[in-house]
Amino acid sequence: MGKRNMLQNDKLHGVEIKRKEVEKKYEYRGIRTLIKKGHYDLAIVACEEFLQKYPGNSYVLKDYASIVRQQGSPEGALELLSNCQNEGIHNIRERALCYAYMGEYQQALETICNIRCFNDKDKSIVTFCKAKLGKYSEDDSACSCYDIKQAISYDEKVAIEHIKSSNEAAKEANYYCYNEEIDIEQLYYNLQKILPEASPIVNDSLMTKYLFRMQDVGYLEGERTNVLAVTTFPNSFDIMTMIPSFSYPDRLVVNNYDQMLLQKREQKQIKALVRESQIDKFNQRYNRK
């Protein structure tokens, strides 16, 4: 009788373990869904709740760190990653990205080299860091010549010409291209004004990526798109590429181009009025005309 009870207890214990594992997987999938849809604040809350139950989970810590890094705190992301119980390739890559975003390129290079099986994302980190350190060679072919030159010394005019030529190539290839009414150069300078207030997409790529909602920005085979994809170099607002993109039915596009640009112009007008008022007060005080 005692042996039978022991077997039943073992069976119940096994069922309980499986139930908890299933719950754990569903919770993690929920976090991934929140990140994918762009609900980053909710994802952070979900990550913290998950880590209270399962401290040191490498996958959730990596996702949490990715959000924190791309919201402007790679140092905070590194601190999170230090809590991993069992570090995997995904954690090593994220640490390397944190160092790259901090401008510590040698440390990033040494970190990413701990990954035995490189993919294209890892190669781009190596190439970028070598370029920043002046160690780039032609054998490092993960990035184009344009990427390398711009990474070493960014030039706005070169970027604009590259974007224009890429748009012409997209037209010929029958791919997403700009609406003919769009002034690409003006769009570039407008984006530079609002990028500091924009929210990037959370991903594990080297370059920072943004999505903007912009009415009729481009088209593909006559069908209009309202999404603009913008890529900048790590930890900067230097635009690498910007191109009309397909709509993301499963992603929340949190940046509204027209609204953000209008707010920026209103802020500029308010500052101008305040400055003018201060000058008037100064002139009145000292009897100046």
pLDDT digits (tens, 9 = 90+) for 254-273: 799 999 999 988 876 665 55
Going by C-alpha positions, the residue among 169, 175, 181 that lies closest to residue 214 is: 181
Phi, psi of 282 (to 5 degrees): -60, -45
Sites in the chain below the pLDDT cut of 70: 1-22, 138-143, 268-289
Residue type, position 105, single letter: Y
Task: Give whole-number Cα distances, 125 to 93, 104, 120, in Å.
Answer: 9, 12, 9
What's residue 48's pLDDT?
96
Q: What is the pTM of this model?
A: 0.81
Nearest to 40 by CA among 251, 246, 244: 251
- pLDDT score for 43: 95
